[in-house]
Amino acid sequence: MRFRKGAKYSRLDLHQILGGDLQSYLPHKEGKILYGAFTHDDNPQAPDVVLVGQGPGIEAAAELFLAQAQPVPVFVKRDANQWEYCGLFHVAKDSREPELLDDHTRRVGRPVRRVLYLEEIAQAPSAEAAPA
């Protein structure tokens, strides 16, 4: 299936097409991130900036994404069960700078352990999302 930029999909659609679970922000399988699913409550600058929270699974998924060369489809939640396709992205850089983390923590009201800066990858018109 090919995703259309700006089109909205349900989380079940994403799960059925790409795999992974229905709740993670970075669903993965066999050590590979399948896609990104970010909310504006937790990531107000998504899809360009992703704020990694606290917890072993959350931080481990961020590590996988950082190590992965292959870009992934990224979706941002726009409404109840409406995830907008934003394009294919990879992590361009990250930061654990304490002042930056403290600033983001204050702004979003939850602990932020790392900031991921994503970059969109140009995609050929015939490119399709590969199922997991």
Q: What is the mean pLDDT of residues 92-101?
A: 98
Q: What is the pLDDT of residue 2?
A: 83
Q: Where are the domains of the chain?
A: 8-121
Q: Around 79, how many Cα atoms within 13 Å sit in the side-chain half-sphere? A: 4
Q: What is the pLDDT of residue 122?
A: 82
Q: What is the mean pLDDT of residues 32-49?
A: 97
Burial pattern 99-132, b for ≥16 Cβ within 10 A else e, equals eebeebbeeeeeebbbbbebebeebeeeeebeee
Task: Give me the phi and psi of 78, to 5 degrees please.
Answer: -105, -25
Q: What is the mean pLDDT of residues 55-84?
A: 96
Architecture of domain 8-121 in this structure = Roll (2.30)
Average pLDDT, rounded, for the chain: 92
pLDDT at 1 over 60: no
pLDDT at 131 over 60: no
